[in-house]
Amino acid sequence: MATSLTTNKIVDQYFLEHRAKVLDIAAFLDRFDRAAASEGVAGSATTTDVRVRALCAALDLLRDGQSDRARRALELWSDHSVEPVAKAGMKGAIGAVPLP
Amino acid sequence: MYIDPHIHMVSRTTDDYQRMALAGCVAITEPAFWAGYDRSCAQGFMDYFRQLTETEPKRAAQFGIQHHTWLCINPKESEDIGLAREVLAEIPSFLDRPNVLGIGEIGLNKNSRNELVVLEEHIALAKSRDLLILVHTPHLEDKMKGTRMIMDAIKDHGVDPGRVLIDHVEEHTVRLVLDRGFWAGMTLYPDTKCTPQRATDIFEMHGTDRMWINSAADWGISDPLAVPKCRDEMRRRGHLDAIIRKVSFDNPQKFLSQSGRFRVQ
C-alpha cells in the first residue's frame, strides 16, 4: 500500500501545515531562550533540561539525509534499558530520557 | 461505517455518542482504564465494571452503537499489588456478561517489577479462560522498553499472539509487534501518539494486515472522531475504499470476532 501521491502533491498538500510546525518550534526555542536570559541560566543551546536537549538532538537528526526519521527520533528519546525498574515513582512520562 | 475498537466512553458526553453515530460509528469496545486518580478500594472497581457492562451499553444503544468492553485493573494502578489482587479476584464474576470480550487494557506503565507481576497474573487469567487480550503499551520514552517486556511476558505464558492486540504502537514499535505475530493498534492522538497523517504513513510503510486504528478518546486531550478523520486522510491520499474499510472495520471485526461475543449491526 505505497503512497499514491507524487512529490509535488505531497508538498502542495502538506507544506503550509509543516511550515507552521517549524515556526512553532522556532518560537518555542525563542521563548525558552528569553526566559533563560531573564533568569540568568543556560539557553537552549547549552541547557541541561532533558526535554529541550532531546528536542534539539532530534532536530539535528531530521537534517542528516537518512530515512526513517520518525522512528529514529522516537528511538533517540526512548529508554533503552531492559530490566524492570524497582518501583514506579510517577504515573506519567516526560517524553525523553536524558541523552548521554 | 466504522468501528472504534478502543475508546473510554465513561469519560465522554452523550453528545459524543451522537456525533460518532453521525460519522458512521456502529460499534465500539471500551477497555477498563485509569480514572485519572487512584481508586481507594476494590469496591470502586466493581462499580466501574457495572458501569462498563450495564450502563454504557444502554447509553450507546440509543444511537445504534453496539458497546463492548474489556476488564482489568489498569497498569497505572498496579503498583499496589494487594489492591490489584483484590480486583483480580473479582473480575471472573463479570466475565460472563454478554458485552465482555476479554482482558484489557493490561500492560505496563512505568515498566516496574510490581506492574510486571500484575500483568502476568492478568495474562494467566486470560489464558485459563481462553480470552482475548488487549494490551496498553507505556507512554513516550517508556514505550519501546515496555512493549518488549510485555510481548516477552505473553510469549512466556504460551498465549497465541493472534489473540492479542498490542495497542498504541508508533513508528519505533510497530515492526517489533507485527514481526512477533501480534495484532497492532494505532491510537490517534493530537499530541502524544499517532496523528492521522502518521498513521497513514505507517500503513504505507508496513501494510494493513493485523492492524487497526482507534481514538482511545478519554478525559485527556483526545478526539472521539479521530477514526473518521484518519479515514479522510487516507481518502485524501487516494487510497482505495476497500483498504480504508479494512483498517477501520474489517480488521477490528476479524480480531474481535475471535471472542465469540462481538456483534455489529
ipTM attached to this prediction: 0.93
- d(CA B120, CA B104) in angstroms, rounded, equals 13
pLDDT at A1 over 80: no
CB pairs under 8 A between A and B: 89
* Domain locations in chain A as residue ranges: 1-47, 49-78
Q: Which among B79, B78, B88, B97 is positioned nearest to B126, based on CA atoms?
A: B88
Residue reference for cell 510486571: B116
- Domain count of chain B? 1
The torsion angles phi and psi of B77, rounded to 5 degrees, stand at -110, 20
Residue B264 falls inside a structural domain: no
Q: In terms of residue numbers, what domain contains B231?
A: 2-259
Strand partners, B100: B69
Whether residue B101 contacts residue B256, with contact meaning beta carbons closer than 8 Å, is answered with: yes
Interval A83-95 mean pLDDT: 92
Q: How far is A93 from chain B (nearest CA, A)?
A: 6
Q: In this predicted structure, what is the pLDDT of residue B23?
A: 98
Interval B248-262 mean pLDDT: 98
Q: Which residues of A13-23 are buried (b: 16+ CB within 10 A; e: fewer)?
A: eeeeeeeeeee
Which chain A residue shows the shortest CA-CA distance from B38?
A91
Residue reference for cell 475504499: B241
Instruction: Identify residue B46 by its one-letter amino acid code.
Output: M
Interval B161-188 mean pLDDT: 98
Whether residue A56 contacts residue A44, with contact meaning beta carbons closer than 8 Å, is answered with: yes
Query: Which pLDDT tens digit goes with each residue over B125-150?
Result: 999 999 999 999 999 999 999 999 99
Q: Mark out chain A residues that contact chain B at CB-CB < 8 A.
A: 1-5, 13-14, 68, 70-71, 74-75, 77-82, 84-97
- Grid coordinates of B5: 475498537
B 27-86 residues inside an 8 A Cβ radius of A: 34, 76, 79
Residue B70 falls inside a structural domain: yes
| Chain A partners within 8 Å of B114 (Cβ) | 87-88
Residue B265 falls inside a structural domain: no
Query: Which pLDDT tens digit goes with each residue over A26-64?
Result: 999 999 999 999 999 999 999 999 999 999 999 999 999
Q: In this predicted structure, what is the pLDDT of residue B265?
A: 74
> Starting at the edge strand that comes first in sequence, how are the strands of the sheet with B132-136 ordered?
B2-4, B25-31, B66-71, B100-107, B132-136, B164-166, B183-187, B211-214
pLDDT at A4 over 90: no
| Chain A partners within 8 Å of B140 (Cβ) | 77, 93-96
Element (H, E) at B71: strand B66-71
Domain CATH for B146? 3.20.20.140
Whether residue A71 contacts residue B143, with contact meaning beta carbons closer than 8 Å, is answered with: no
Strand B183-187 with B66-71, pairing: unpaired
Interval A3-19 mean pLDDT: 93
Q: Name the band, by pLDDT with cuts 50, 70 and 90, for residue B1.
A: very high
Whether residue B102 contacts residue B133, with contact meaning beta carbons closer than 8 Å, is answered with: yes
Query: Which pLDDT tens digit goes with each residue over B33-52?
Result: 999 999 999 999 999 999 99
Contact B171 A80 (CB under 8 A): no
- d(CA A53, CA B62) in angstroms, rounded, equals 50
Among partner residues A71, A89, A95, which is closest to B140 by beta-carbon distance? Answer: A95
Interval B71-86 mean pLDDT: 96
- d(CA B167, CA B6) in angstroms, rounded, equals 9
Q: How far is B236 from chain A (nearest CA, A)?
A: 9
Query: Which pLDDT tens digit goes with each residue over B7-30?
Result: 999 999 999 999 999 999 999 999
pLDDT at B170 over 90: yes
pLDDT at A100 over 90: no
